[in-house]
């Protein structure tokens, strides 16, 4: 369950704060307008505030200002044009198609453009549904702008006042995602669970974790060098280090399951990992409450008990050398994880984070960059572009919805049909299907509940209170569970109608009918110029291999001392995790599509797993090098790392070639050599270094897991070859 759906944590989440901020602002502006002038002015101002509130998301203040100002200017123009066209129904139908196309093309700029798209369509429907003359249209447009601009000023003021709280809450959400990730990892110690199935769950959570960590970076790391050692920056870095250690633990699970017959020991490890996940959740809850977490619990006795059990098994002959190695490595990693957790518990007294490079924008590589450039937009105006196909789909669907609404006998609220289409029809089939189901169920539940409320409750004050709750709930659950947003939105509309026009008893039935018609239109248009996931997945797989190669290069430079700190390594790791999360997301979406559109599911699952394991092995080798300092003058570890990295880079290059080239993959003799084969003289020279055997063992495992990636890539290429979806990365059109 999402942490924000739990009653214990819901009221401290940024989702709740956002919902309350939006409801207070929209209702407050409406009340001020009503008290200052009249109810009609108050409603007009509320429309502008409501549409601009769709852009009110946790974001750096400068970005929030740019996004909300763009939204209010664009929507005000749309409000004016829609008001002028409202007396001419068929002109409004054509306008809706044009606005639908233009605003849907903006989705090319990323997820933050999607609220802008809906806000523009919402504005057009609201204003266009009330025919008026040119003078009234101009007045309505001005009032809309004043309402939206007033809400922007209000939101910026509140967000500035609560800026530290918002950062704490977003970091807390990232920690909750990390705790869920670690809890899934604890399941790997349970021999009753299937490793493949458990890994599928882990990759899905990795996708969520990458998204939440990026949101945390965008708010917390957007600081100057003089602020690079604040409490939240320290806590954020400690969280990433916990994640690195958890990642490094992964390659040991198959080894433990293979060599440790005593499942009681594995159960002990699983319980301890679960307790550590609980501990991370405790830290997250404390941050969300604006307080420092308590001291980390003492898990030393539990680890000591496990260590004694391992020692006893070794001395009695019940344990094999391989099992003893795997168990001791796991214990060492758990102890290091506990040490890092102490930094997370006490960020005020933690060691300083590594100094960022002396640049104007030191954390830039970690942050999301919004590039709003015309050439990016223009480059997508082609039939092969998924964004262009989506924009055409939305434009035609909304125009049809408005045209159909004009001929229905109950056309009083016919614009609800077009709004339903705008809500349900998303850029991909998976999102559209989920929105469709949630919209239908949510509208049904919300309409029935609101009808019962309106039948029983007649006091305006009570209905206003319920309207405020519905107004707050709709944005609160938008990114958690859209079903609840659909319930709240239906209640919000019907309560507003019940307050203003109590005699409109048919509104509930109209709401249900319009939603049904809108959902039907959106479902049909899902298959008009569709964009299926298989068309882009091969290119995403290629990006994963590119990011993996960059990570390997940064990893080698860090271990060989070519980089003075781990900054470049962290950037490369982030980019790899982003790429693997993107592929994982696309794979999940493809599994929701019709069976005829699903390709290479097993191969892609294996591809994700093996690439993830390569990075996990590299993280584990980094820990070995940290735990076992190299004696002065001993060149063997550096030579081994250079050889492992070179061999690994060749493996990734071969995999990319297999993914890009239709011909069968041809491996050179050098490619088939094991990376861990060491000359006898090297083994003798390394006798004085305690980490030699550990590194050699890890190199064996790394080579085994990396060796199959080229074969999997060739299999993916073979499956997708018939679909025509594979495009060589070197030929892919990019905008730079």
Instruction: Tell me the pLDDT tens digit for each residue of 288-299.
Output: 998 888 777 787
Whole-number percent of the chain with pLDDT over 90 = 26
Residue 553: pLDDT band with limits 50, 70, 90: very high
634-667 residues labelled b (16+ CB within 10 A) or e (exposed): eebbebbbebbbebbebbbebbbbbbbeeeebee
- pLDDT tens digit sequence for 195-212: 778 888 887 888 888 889
Cα(first)–Cα(last) distance of the chain, in Å? 40
- Can you tell me the mean pLDDT for 331-349? 78
Q: What pLDDT shows up at residue 414? A: 65
Q: What pLDDT shows up at residue 230? A: 77
Instruction: Please choose, from the candidates 156, 197, 193, the residue with its C-alpha nearest in 3D space to the C-alpha of residue 21.
Output: 156
Q: Give the DSSP per-residue string, 399-466.
A: HHHHHHHHHSTTGGGTHHHHHHHHHH--SSHHHHHHHHHHHHHHHHHHHHHHHHHHHH---HHHHHHH
Q: What pLDDT shows up at residue 88? A: 81
Instruction: Please choose, from the candidates 608, 588, 616, 576, the residue with its C-alpha nearest in 3D space to the C-alpha of residue 254.
Output: 616
Bigger pLDDT: 309 vs 349: 309
Q: What pLDDT shows up at residue 731? A: 39
* Residue in this structure with the two tokens 């998204």, named with its chain if needed: 211
- Can you tell me the mean pLDDT for 513-542? 90
Q: What pLDDT shows up at residue 391? A: 93
pLDDT exceeds cutoff 60 at 685: no
* Residue in this structure with the two tokens 């890994």, named with its chain if needed: 199
Q: What pLDDT shows up at residue 149? A: 96
Q: What pLDDT shows up at residue 174? A: 94
pLDDT exceeds cutoff 60 at 545: yes
pLDDT exceeds cutoff 80 at 232: yes
Residue 362: pLDDT band with limits 50, 70, 90: low
Sign of the alpha-carbon dihedral angle for 574, 580, 584, 587: positive
- Can you tell me the mean pLDDT for 507-532? 88
Tokens of 84: 């002028």
Residue 677: pLDDT band with limits 50, 70, 90: very low
Residue 323: pLDDT band with limits 50, 70, 90: low
Q: What pLDDT shows up at residue 669? A: 41
Most confident of 106-120, 331-345, 401-415: 106-120
Q: What pLDDT shows up at residue 319? A: 61
Whole-number percent of the chain with pLDDT over 70 = 85
Residue 638: pLDDT band with limits 50, 70, 90: confident
Give the mean pLDDT of the chain. Answer: 82
Q: What pLDDT shows up at residue 727? A: 42
- pLDDT tens digit sequence for 101-156: 999 998 888 777 888 888 998 888 888 776 665 567 888 889 999 999 999 999 99
* CA–CA dist 550, 649 (Å, integer): 9
| Cα angle value 541/545/550 (rounded, 5°) | 145
- pLDDT tens digit sequence for 613-626: 898 889 888 888 88
Bigger pLDDT: 436 vs 315: 436
Q: What pLDDT shows up at residue 316? A: 66
- pLDDT tens digit sequence for 5-35: 888 899 999 999 999 999 999 999 999 998 8
* CA–CA dist 650, 684 (Å, integer): 27
Which residues have a Cβ under 8 Å from the Cβ of 151 and sit 6 or more positions away? Answer: 25, 26, 29, 48, 49, 52, 53, 56, 68
- pLDDT tens digit sequence for 73-106: 999 999 888 888 878 888 888 888 899 999 999 8
| Burial of 362: CB neighbours in 10 Å, binned 0-12, 13-18, 19+ | middle
Which residues have a Cβ under 8 Å from the Cβ of 617 and sit 6 or more positions away? Answer: 251, 698, 701, 702, 705, 706
Residue 358: pLDDT band with limits 50, 70, 90: very low
Q: SS3 helix, strand, coil % of the chain, rounded to 5?
A: 75, 0, 25
Q: What pLDDT shows up at residue 729? A: 41
Q: What is the dihedral of CA 522, 527, 528, 530, to 10 degrees?
A: 110
- pLDDT tens digit sequence for 564-600: 778 888 889 989 988 998 898 888 888 888 888 888 8
Residue 374: pLDDT band with limits 50, 70, 90: confident
* CA–CA dist 229, 212 (Å, integer): 21
Range in 55-64, 247-256, 401-410 the model is least confident about: 247-256
């Amino acid at each position: 369950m999402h942490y924000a759906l739990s009653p214990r944590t819901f009221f401290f989440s940024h989702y709740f704060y956002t919902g309350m901020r939006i409801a207070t602002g929209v209702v407050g502006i409406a009340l001020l307008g009503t008290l200052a002038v009249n109810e009609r002015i108050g409603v007009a101002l509320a429309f502008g505030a409501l549409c601009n509130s769709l852009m009110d998301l946790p974001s750096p203040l400068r970005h929030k200002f740019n996004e909300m100002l763009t939204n209010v200017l664009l929507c005000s123009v749309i409000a004016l044009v829609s008001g002028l066209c409202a007396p001419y129904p068929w002109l409004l139908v054509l306008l809706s198609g044009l606005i639908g196309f233009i605003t849907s093309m903006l989705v090319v700029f990323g997820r933050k453009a999607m609220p802008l798209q809906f806000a523009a369509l919402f504005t057009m429907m609201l204003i266009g549904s009330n025919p008026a003359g040119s003078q009234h249209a101009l007045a309505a447009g001005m009032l809309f702008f004043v309402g939206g601009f007033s809400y922007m000023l209000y939101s910026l003021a509140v967000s500035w006042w609560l800026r530290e709280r918002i950062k704490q809450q977003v970091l807390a959400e990232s920690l909750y995602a990390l705790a869920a990730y670690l809890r899934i990892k604890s399941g790997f110690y349970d021999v009753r669970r299937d490793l493949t199935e458990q890994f599928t769950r882990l990759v899905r959570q990795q996708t969520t974790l990458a998204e939440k960590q990026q949101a945390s970076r965008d708010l917390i790391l957007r600081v100057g060098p003089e602020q690079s050692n604040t409490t939240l920056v320290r806590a954020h870095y400690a969280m990433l280090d916990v994640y690195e250690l958890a990642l490094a633990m992964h390659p040991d699970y198959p080894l433990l399951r293979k060599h440790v017959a005593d499942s009681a020991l594995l159960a002990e490890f699983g319980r301890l990992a679960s307790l550590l996940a609980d501990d991370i959740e405790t830290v997250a809850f404390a941050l969300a409450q604006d307080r420092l977490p308590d001291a980390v619990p003492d898990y030393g006795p539990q680890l000591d008990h496990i260590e004694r059990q391992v020692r006893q098994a070794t001395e009695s002959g019940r344990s094999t050398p391989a099992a003893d190695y795997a168990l001791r490595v796991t214990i060492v990693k758990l102890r290091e994880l506990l040490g890092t957790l102490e930094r997370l518990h006490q960020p005020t007294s933690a060691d300083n984070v590594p100094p960022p490079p002396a640049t104007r924008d030191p954390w830039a590589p970690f942050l999301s960059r919004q590039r709003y450039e015309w050439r990016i937009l223009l480059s997508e105006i082609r039939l092969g572009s998924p964004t262009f196909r989506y924009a055409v789909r939305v434009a035609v669907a909304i125009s049809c919805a408005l045209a159909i609404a004009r001929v229905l006998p109950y056309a009083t609220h016919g614009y609800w049909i077009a709004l339903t289409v705008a809500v349900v029809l998303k850029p991909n089939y998976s999102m559209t299907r989920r929105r469709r189901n949630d919209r239908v169920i949510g509208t049904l539940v919300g309409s029935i509940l609101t009808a019962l409320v309106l039948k029983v409750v007649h006091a305006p004050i009570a209905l206003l209170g319920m309207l405020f709750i519905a107004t707050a709930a709709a944005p609160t659950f938008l990114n958690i569970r859209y079903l609840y947003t659909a319930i709240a939105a239906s209640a919000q509309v019907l309560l507003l109608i019940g307050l203003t026009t109590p005699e409109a008893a048919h509104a509930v039935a109209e709401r249900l009918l319009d939603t049904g018609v809108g959902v039907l239109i959106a479902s049909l248009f899902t298959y008009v110029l569709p964009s299926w996931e298989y068309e882009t997945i091969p290119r995403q797989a290629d990006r994963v291999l590119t990011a993996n190669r960059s990570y390997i290069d940064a990893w080698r430079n860090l271990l060989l001392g070519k980089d003075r700190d781990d900054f470049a390594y962290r950037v490369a790791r982030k980019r790899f995790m982003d790429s693997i999360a993107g592929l994982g997301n696309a794979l999940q979406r493809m599994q929701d599509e019709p069976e005829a559109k699903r390709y290479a599911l097993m191969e892609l699952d294996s591809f994700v797993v093996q690439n993830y394991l390569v990075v996990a092995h590299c993280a584990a080798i980094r820990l070995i090098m940290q735990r076992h300092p190299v004696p002065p003058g001993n060149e063997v570890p550096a030579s081994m790392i250079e050889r492992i990295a070179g061999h690994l880079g060749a493996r990734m290059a071969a995999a990319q070639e297999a993914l890009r080239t239709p011909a069968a993959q041809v491996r050179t003799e050098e490619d088939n050599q094991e990376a861990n084969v060491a000359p006898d003289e090297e083994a003798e020279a390394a006798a004085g270094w305690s980490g030699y055997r550990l590194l050699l063992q890890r190199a064996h495992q790394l080579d085994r897991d990396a060796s199959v990636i080229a074969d999997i890539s060739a299999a993916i290429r073979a499956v997708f070859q018939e679909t025509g979806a594979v495009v060589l990365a070197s030929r892919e059109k990019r905008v730079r």
